[in-house]
Amino acid sequence: MALIISSSCFFLILVSVSSIYVHAYKNHTVGDSLGWYDNLQKPDLNYQKWAAANNFSLGDFLIFNTDTNHSVIQTYNVTTYKLCDYNNAVENDTIQWSDAEPSNTVPHDVSVAVPLLKEGITYFFSGDYDGEQCKNGQHFKINVTHGQGLPKTLDNSAAGPASSPQSGNGDDESIPDTIVPNANFNDPKPDDNDDIKPSGAVSFSVPHVQGNLIFILLGLVYLLWS
């Protein structure tokens, strides 16, 4: 009987530890190593196929690795998305996270971090050059699920891009600019139930409860087999 109780405890703690990893917030790098570009520049890109292979939840981030000739537009308006044009979009349903610079003959790299703050369908595209990049494959839609909800660091925060930091040495080729939303990422205050699984430019501290559970799990394994 004692063995059955120990095995049950072992199973419950294993499930608890596993759930922490399963429900962790994630950073999704759009296009993986290929980045955020149109098919004229990178013909093999298929962003909708990339999106279909991932699961997105509130509190996750999309990381767009691109350059200053490609923009990042987020919209909840399917008409805006299909037109590849945000000029007449309503302010509260479309956000321009970064814009392209057509007059810039020497583009430089940028990395744009976009938080997922609303459940349901949301659309992304590059909206400059009269929609040419969007019409040439630089667009996709995703379905954002509730997951574990927004962390307090993002809940009720104003969505919108912050100014990209300027490189101190002017070496744009080696150090990309990073554009992040208006939130306190320099000194994050993690909640007891919030943990981020880092896979990109933005990360959070992991709660101590995860380490405690692992130690308890190892102790039970020792007792079970001793």
| Tokens at 94, concatenated | 């479309």
* Residue 63 domain flag: yes
| pLDDT digit string, tens, across residues 76-133 | 999 999 999 998 887 789 999 988 876 667 888 999 999 999 999 999 999 888 899 9
Number of Cβ atoms within 10 Å of the Cβ of 18? 10
Query: Which residue's structure tokens are 């430089």?
Result: 108
Most confidently predicted of 108-112, 180-184, 192-196, 213-217: 108-112
pTM: 0.64
Instruction: Name the percent of the chain lying above pLDDT 90.
Output: 46
Domain around 30: 25-225
CA distance 137 to 27: 22
Indicate the number of domains in the chain.
Answer: 1
The reply to whether 148 falls in a domain is yes
Distance of CA 160 to the CA centre of its chain: 14
**DSSP at 161:** B
pLDDT at residue 14, rounded to an integer? 45
**Residue 12 domain-assigned (yes or no):** no
Nearest alpha carbon to residue 119 among 92, 153, 143, 88: 143
DSSP for residue 207: P
Residue 101: the pLDDT is 75
Would 6 be classed as within a structural domain?
Answer: no
Looking at the domain assignment, is residue 96 inside a domain? yes
For the chain, give the number of residues.
226
Residue 100: both structure tokens together: 């392209």
Mean pLDDT, the chain, whole residue set: 73
Q: Is residue 187 part of a domain?
A: yes
pLDDT one-digit tens code per residue, 48-64 = 999 999 999 999 999 99
Q: Which helix (H) or strand (E) holds 72?
A: strand 72-75
Task: Give the CATH number, domain containing residue 104.
Answer: 2.60.40.420
* Rounded mean pLDDT, 165-184: 41
Determine, yes or no, domain membership for 94.
Answer: yes
Task: Please report which confidence band the pLDDT of residue 23 belongs to, taking 50, 70 and 90 as the band edges.
Answer: low
Query: Which pLDDT value is given to residue 112?
Result: 96
> Would residue 19 count as lying in a domain?
no
